[in-house]
Structure 1
Amino acid sequence: MAEYFDYKVITSSLIKAVRTLTNYPCIEANSTGDQPPYPFATFSITSPKITIQHDDDNAPFELTVSLTWHDTSSLSVLNLAKKCESYFKSSVGRALFAEKEVVIVDVTDFDRRDNFISIEYERSAGFDVLMRVQDPYSDAVTPIDQIEINNIGGFK
């Protein structure tokens, strides 16, 4: 068992789902490297840990992943965002993540996210996915079940 939750479980499943569904690449937002040709999707883990239970060991937590489509065409990004949004809301999309022990809690409605670049616009649209995962961390410290205090310094 892993000692911590590995976010690659989420990102590799997301990249695979987008590629299988659309045949277009999905890359990490704001990363180094060359931008792929349009259209393409980007992902960002916008909220990496949302505490939902205050246990130290093996506590579930939630995280938010943002998926955004980029292209020069407004209709293209709207269609791709809608296709992916529908997939993540479907039982098939949820099952892909359930295989990795990731629960899709909520999928927001997609919206426009256009960017003004120099003298033209990059068209973009996207949505957020709230996911719940189990933290495999477990503290190996043996808990103290009983304390015995000896009579020290005359106190009883």
Structure 2
Amino acid sequence: MLNIEPIRSAIVRNLTATTGIQTIIAEQSNEQPSYPFIAIKFTTLGKQVGRATQYMQEDVQYTEQDIEMVLSVSSFSEEMDESINNAYAAFQFFEVDGIQTLQEANIAVVKTTEISNRDTFISIEYERRTGFDVRIRTRAQSIKELDSIDTININN
């Protein structure tokens, strides 16, 4: 079973701590924070990689499956240069600075795409957005306790 909350939480918490830029989950019903900020959104969830493995330890069966996800990362600002600089800070997190902390959370960065312009026209002005996508992998695990047979009676 894959629990997305610890993955999302580890990324948001560590991205904020490393870059110093407030990081939020995109497209939520909460009010948008003041600029600048970084927003993340999972665009692909649960792509299985390889085959699941199963093993037993005592009376417990473990099933593990590597899962790949795509994460969209966007820097929001009123200023173009600030948006670009913050996107580079987030990019640096996934490429270098955050590798260790993500690995500790069982998250591996597979690939980052190039940083690109994602500006949006809002009535008479632009909301400056710069971003990129990140492919990450983690391992889903399900645990099933099995009943053991203590004794067997055989009657002839």
Which bracket does the TM-score occupy, shorter chain normalised?
0.7 to 0.9
Deviations 1:34-89 (A, max 9, x none): 11110011110000111212437311110011110111111001001011112211
Q: What runs of 5+ residues in structure 1 fail to find an aligned partner?
A: 143-156
**Contact preservation (8 Å) 1:85, 1:109:** no
Determine the structure 2 residue equivalent to 1:15: 12
Q: Secondary structure at the match of 1:59?
A: strand
Q: Secondary structure at the match of 2:90?
A: helix
After superposing on structure 2, the runs of 4+ consecutive aligned residues of structure 1 that deviate more than 3 Å are 138-142
Determine the structure 1 residue equivalent to 2:42: 45
> RMSD over aligned Cα, in angstroms?
1.7
- Do residues 120 (structure 1) and 117 (structure 2) align? no
Query: After alignment, is 73-82 or 13-22 more displaced?
Result: 13-22
Q: Secondary structure at the match of 2:64?
A: coil
Q: Secondary structure at the match of 2:142?
A: coil
2: CA distance between counterparts of 1:141 and 1:115? 54
TM-score, normalised to structure 2, is: 0.81
The structure with the largest strand share of the pair is: 2
Deviations 1:68-125 (A, max 9, x none): 01111110010010111122111x3111110011111111121110011112110000
Q: How many residues align?
A: 138
1: CA distance between counterparts of 2:145 and 2:64? 12
1: CA distance between counterparts of 2:16 and 2:113? 21
Q: Which structure has the greater CA radius of gyration? A: 1
Identity %: 25
Q: Secondary structure at the match of 1:50?
A: strand
Query: Post-superposition shift, 1:24?
Result: 2.3
**Contact preservation (8 Å) 1:72, 1:121:** yes
**Contact preservation (8 Å) 1:103, 1:131:** yes
Q: Secondary structure at the match of 2:44?
A: strand
2: CA distance between counterparts of 1:47 and 1:139? 27
- Pairing partner for 1:27 from 24, 29, 33: 24
Determine the structure 2 residue equivalent to 1:153: none
- Do residues 83 (structure 1) and 89 (structure 2) align? yes
